[in-house]
Amino acid sequence: MIVFENISKIYPPDSVALENISFRVGKGEFVSIVGKSGAGKSTLIKLLLREEEPSQGKIYFDDYDILDIKISHLPYYRQRIGAVFQDYRLLNNKTVYENVAYAMEVMGGTDYEIQRDVPQLLGIVGLEDKFGNFPREISGGEKQRTAIARALAMRPDVIVADEPTGNLDPYHSKEIIDLLEKINEMGTTVILCTHDKEVINSLKRRVITFDQGELVRDEEKGRFIL
């Protein structure tokens, strides 16, 4: 479903972030990408979202070369990927409900669909009682769950999560990871980037290890080894 082919990324002038990375992610997989900070995990996500372009190599999404996507079509491509980040990236002047609804409004969902789906999505992530709260009024874990609900609202083919537990304590980290597993079980592909050892070892899923921009290990039911 997603193929990285000989990807290198050099930030000008000479900062090498990724070097000759190749791997593929199948539909419905749960893949973790691990590595020390600076290993190139976030860069890989930026390339997939086409916020950056690779210096070399190709990325295919459902057999389409994403570098061929026209700028004007980028929004529609990005609607197929639900992205979750360490810093949550919620819209501060919208409530929890509105943040999730926004993703559907952008895609042209009808009012009926929005009123039906948003409460359901917020139910999945356990935020039934926070509809009207603004991001500044809820905890980090709740913010991240809002972000996940928003990612789900787009009915994405894949969810990418870049250090989603980076700002959370172990208890709330586990909640988030459990949620991602639940989403994966419902059929959505998940790509999780993290340097959190506990998270990886509890997952027992495929683990790809990066070190200084290179792919050093790719194991089914992997463990966190650096």
Ligand X SMILES: Nc1ncnc2c1ncn2[C@@H]1O[C@H](COP(=O)(O)OP(=O)(O)O)[C@@H](O)[C@H]1O
Residue 77 binds which entry of Mg ion, ligand X, another protein, none, CB below 5-8 Å type-dependent:
another protein
Per CB under 8 A, 191 contacts another protein: no
| Count of H-run helices and E-run strands, the chain | 7, 10
CB of 161 to ligand X, least distance (A): 12
Distance CA 219, CA 226 (A): 13
Distance CA 221, CA 217 (A): 12
Distance CA 177, CA 66 (A): 28
Binding mask 42-61 for another protein (x = CB under 8 A): -------x-x----------
Site for ligand X in 24-43 (CB under 6 A): 35, 37-43
Tokens standing for residue 41: 């995990």
CB of 26 to another protein, least distance (A): 23
List of residues 6+ apart from 214 with CB closer than 8 A: 19, 20, 21
- Helix, strand, or coil (residue 70): coil
Residue 83 binds which entry of another protein, Mg ion, ligand X, none, CB below 5-8 Å type-dependent:
another protein
Continuous H helices in 110-169: 111-124, 140-153
Binding mask 43-82 for ligand X (x = CB under 6 A): x---------------------------------------
Per CB under 8 A, 90 contacts another protein: yes
Task: Enumerate binding residues for another protein (CB under 8 A).
Answer: 49, 51, 71, 74-80, 83, 89-94, 98, 102-103, 105-108, 110-111, 150, 154
